[in-house]
Amino acid sequence: MLNLVLFGPPGAGKGTQSALLIDKYNLVHLSTGDIFRYNMKENTELGILAKSYIEKGALVPDEVTIAMLEAEVNSNSKAKGFIFDGFPRTHKQAEALDTFLASKGTAISAMLALEVEVEELVVRLLERGKSSGRADDQNPKIIKNRIQVYDNETAILKDYYSAQNKFVGVKGVGSITDITSSLCKEIDTLI
């Protein structure tokens, strides 16, 4: 199996690039943010809970997020591999993912990290907010909080995957096509 963590701060382009990569490599795209938003739209119990965190730019608790992610993987039992987008975001999530994948006889192949300067992230998120309808993309204070949460809780995962020799940094600035090519070059070394 090819299991990729597509990593980077909010606005790095994880969703855009995931959508382009899944067809080429025949992978299933699991975006925890998308799954939460779907549940919010459907007003499920999970959606109502997630909303209270997402609208502040805070992380949804690990237990809830991990259980949801594992259920999604389980419901795609025929998948040839996954792109995890927006997960893991904490050390606890990364450990849970490793344990869970090991129980299925597989593992993360690599973490591909899109690297983008913070000033560019804010510009991109505010621009996306004009069309996405996402409240958390429209408020500079919430955006700042999301980036701070990334710096405080998520960025450390680079060390986690580096220790496993699985960290790959990719420049996330430039044309979408060029960034896809850089990612593909790295993925091709894994297969």
Contact residues for ligand AMP, defined by CB under 6 A: 10, 32-33, 36, 53-54, 57-60, 65, 86-87, 89, 93, 136, 146
Whether 124 sits among the annotated catalytic residues: the reply is no
Pairwise CA distance, residues 190 & 138, whole Å:
38
How many other C-beta atoms can be found within 10 angstroms of the C-beta atom of residue 163?
9
User: Do 184 and 27 meet the contact criterion of CB atoms below 8 Å apart?
Assistant: no
User: Minimum distance between the CB of residue 57 and ligand AMP, rounded to whole angstroms?
Assistant: 6
SS3 127: helix
Contacts 24+ apart (CB under 8 A), 161-165: 161/5, 161/94, 161/108, 161/110, 161/111, 164/108
Whether 14 sits among the annotated catalytic residues: the reply is yes
For ligand AMP, give the closer residue by CB, 44 or 181: 44
Whether 80 sits among the annotated catalytic residues: the reply is no
For ligand AMP, give the closer residue by CB, 57 or 81: 57
Number of residue whose CB is nearest ligand AMP: 33
Whether 134 sits among the annotated catalytic residues: the reply is yes
For ligand AMP, give the closer residue by CB, 148 or 181: 148
- What residues are labeled active site? 14, 89, 128, 134, 146
